[in-house]
Structure 1
């Protein structure tokens, strides 16, 4: 996106019709999310042919992968907020400088992350109580993915910078190319070359590497609204400090969130491979149908960042409120569809009566809470992070997972009774020490976290930009 197009997009984001602009930014992201989830479902389909253990391997290892990659996502969030607000304020020189600082920082940071990831992998899998049948598959998958972390971080930075400038199409085109590569390479590496689960991971890394190289070429070519040069990418500890200041809370929050899923995986695995397989397939299906809601949230983030940068706080609030309504309705529709077609769809992936029976509990006790999570919680946390108030989004994320989901899931799944203010509550009588209790606790965490997020959003303390001092220099 050239500078002239960047200026036109900025004008539309700041002054154009909210719904029209939101849709214009969202539809490429929606398509991208659908394609990404289609790949995940395809990956699940092929691995399901190898058996329950192979199917569970990516889902088992991704909480570990996500814990460390979330650090990079946190800094990408900071770069997104800074670049978006500088563009909104009309300060393009500092937008380019922030973009270069983010990109160089991500390259350095990702190398260290890859090394740490490989070192802690065996200990993390044991902590999660991964069953002996799944352990070798999960370890093989994660080792390959960890080796490709620098490539993933590079493309992550590219996507964040393009979205901050209002260009949601370019990263989506590249992402669709890489997903297409992945879909083609998956069966080749898994079956033709006989590499199994490890082959699926190799296909992922090769595809991500292609996207990273193309993204780097675009940013350094001068053909995008943002232009990275040797000068802008030189280590600049002043900008690094700014990115760390804004990004560290988000990085910590997202890493804690991802590590929380490591703990949650341990809790779910307490009921065996069958329960975890049902959970894995169900969440993949939800992700597919709610991809529209996530695309809307990401597009909203671009509009929030630039409007906050231009100090259009009232408009930013309206944008977030309308995104909440849209996403709540979309997620509600998703749950209805899954409820109607749950059994035949599950049989496509894994025709296992035990897994299909467990999927009913996931739907009944957990998935009904997804509209509150996608419609309210996700929109509020993205609003906070896009405005640069990453401590708020960090607190909400940690509250949902560590303050609510993990304690409630464990309590309803494993604890016989608790005493509150002298009153004994017999939890075991509700679900009888079954997986129902775990999923009920997960659902309750979404309801309660959404209420807290909505109340905080309405206070309006997030309506303050983070570039105030620098924009006056």
Structure 2
């Protein structure tokens, strides 16, 4: 791993101008995110031509798929922190060992996830109260995606490892290829062009796993031939209990946090579906639009993660803090103007995907009660949790993720959406004060309450995250602590 390119990048990350280095690392990631979102938009566009139920199927499936994938993502996060900090500390041999251990562990784990997910899908969809019109499409889509999970896992493993050493361009190029394949295959398999059978939602799922498979195989070739900054060999792929222990110790809290987060969206899907297909379709399209406009801020946050990991590894904590603070300011501004654009052009853009008056009307509710909180989520919460994960302090990121979704979002969304009123009493200056909040009158038992609860969860946890970040308890590298 100790080649001139990795060393040059390391010097820039540790000693170069923060803004210039951040832009250099983030630009490929921004492009990568935009391309990925372009695929999601394309997928939504084509499925929207089939109908509301078909359009909702992938969005219904992904909270469940994400719950299980997040377990592997947690281990990849641990590998990212270890490899990045080893490179920052100049310990290249150990960086390669950590990379090999991560790759073999993720591959084994992904196989079990794919098998389990395939058979658990019907039960999970029923638990989410998926409507009968959406259920058959979601079942077909989800099961096919689970069959391709090992390829998806090793693809993001490849991206995490290269990001850790400061190479963000190679994952971008590979993702451009796989997304191009996906976009090209989508209409061919969905509508049966060029002699292929018309497969609808099933075709969209097959396009996804085909593209992931191609990306995974190319990534494996690059890693094993040493053509990129990380070089895997049969020796460092051999099960290494010492590094497995490190990966589990650091990665398990992240896995739990991210899985709990994704499972929370399973519950949230159930809550939103309580108000029908219209509310859920509006939610899915709106989140797709947000992802387009916030891809820049997410790419910058990921670039920041590489810089934080290596600076923490080199014990340059004040520089790591400055990097994170500047990222927060930039990301907040980007997310703010993104939401403003969505608000201005909301109706016109929605009609491109689904010209359904009921869904377009519902999108105003999502904007007013939920989207206004996105700058606080993207600009503060996402950056802080990324700082904690990159520094290897995954228990902190886990706690924040669980607080946002399970402590606040789900209870508040349910309370404001379904509970007629909240009543409680407390003693103030010797007098009993009773408070009665008529939720039914405030929101008329509509989806307004659900989206209001979602928005409030973003505001509150952003504040908590900022206070925790400023305390600086994350400023300690994990490579020294776990050895």
Q: TM-score, normalised by structure 2?
A: 0.97
Please tell me the root mean square deviation across aligned C-alpha atoms, in Å: 0.9
Q: How many residues align?
A: 471
Query: In 1, Cα distance between the equivalents of 2:90 and 2:220?
Result: 24
**From 222, 226, 230, the counterpart of 1:226:** 230
Q: 1:444 & 1:470 partners in 2: Cα distance? A: 37
User: Following TM superposition, by how much is the alpha carbon of 1:429 offset from its aligned partner in structure 2, in angstroms?
Assistant: 1.4
Choose from 428, 438, 447 the match for 1:426. Answer: 438
What are the superposed Cα offsets for residues 129-159 of structure 1, whole Å, 9 maximum, x if unpaired?
A: 0000000000000010000000001111110
Task: Quote how far apart the aligned CAs of 1:424 are.
Answer: 1.9
Q: CA deviation at 1:128?
A: 0.4
Unaligned runs of 5+ in 2: 426-433
Q: In structure 2, what is the equivalent of residue 382 of structure 1?
A: 386
Matched, 1:466 2:470: no
Does the 8 Å CA contact 1:56/1:277 hold for their aligned counterparts? yes
- Give the CA deviation at 1:85: 0.2
One of 302, 320, 326 as aligned partner of 1:322 = 326
- Alignment-derived partner of residue 307 in structure 1: 311
Rounded Cα–Cα distance in structure 2 between residues aligned with 1:241 and 1:168? 27
> Structure 1: which 5+ runs fail to align?
none
Structure-2 residue corresponding to 1:80: 80
Check conservation: 2:81, 2:390, Cα contact below 8 A.
Answer: yes
Query: Using the alignment, how far apart are the partners of 2:304 and 2:27 within structure 1?
Result: 12
Q: Give how far 1:185 is off.
A: 0.3
User: Tell me, what secondary structure is at the counterpart of 1:56?
Assistant: helix
8 A contact 1:118–1:146 mirrored in 2: yes
Are the equivalent residues in 1 in contact too, given 2:246–2:482 (CA < 8 A)?
Answer: no
Q: 1:32 to 1:401 in 2, by over 3 A?
A: same
- Structure 1 residue 470: Cα displacement: 6.5
Deviations 1:133-190 (A, max 9, x none): 0000000000100000000011111100000000000001000100000000000000
Contact 1:2 1:224 in 2 (8 A): no
Pairing 1:201-350 to 2, within 5 Å after superposition: 201-350=205-354
CA deviation after TM superposition for structure 1 residue 425, in Å: 1.5
* Residue range with higher mean Cα deviation, 236-245 or 388-397: 236-245
In structure 2, the residue matched to 1:442 is 454
Q: Using a 3 Å threshold, how does the CA distance of structure 1 residues 391 and 49 change in structure 2: closer, same or farther?
A: same
Deviation at 1:420, TM superposition (A): 2.9
The aligned counterpart of 1:415 is 419
1:20-419 counterparts in 2 under 5 A?
Answer: 20-192=20-192, 193-419=197-423
CA distance in 2, matches of 1:75, 1:249: 9
CA distance in structure 2 between the partners assigned to 1:279 and 1:314 by the alignment: 40
> Structure 1: how far apart are the matches of 2:256 and 2:390?
16
Query: Contact 1:3 / 1:224 at 8 angstroms: preserved in 2?
Result: no
Q: Is the 8 A contact 1:417 1:424 kept in 2?
A: yes
Q: Give the SS at the match of 2:345.
A: helix
Q: CA deviation at 1:224?
A: 1.7
Q: Distance in 1 between matches of 2:203 and 2:273?
A: 25
Q: Secondary structure at the match of 2:423?
A: strand
Aligned partners of 1:2 and 1:223 also within 8 Å: no
1:367-411 per-position Cα deviation (integer Å, ceiling 9, x unaligned): 000000000000000000000000000000000000000011001
Contact preservation (8 Å) 2:2, 2:92: no
Cα distance, 1:13 vs structure 2: 0.1
Deviation at 1:120, TM superposition (A): 1.1
Whether the 8 Å contact between 1:140 and 1:198 is mirrored in structure 2 is yes
- Asked if the contact 1:145/1:201 (under 8 Å) is kept, the reply is yes
Partner Cα separation in structure 1 for residue 254 and residue 2 of structure 2: 30
CA distance in 1, matches of 2:27, 2:175: 14
State the SS of the aligned residue for 1:420: strand
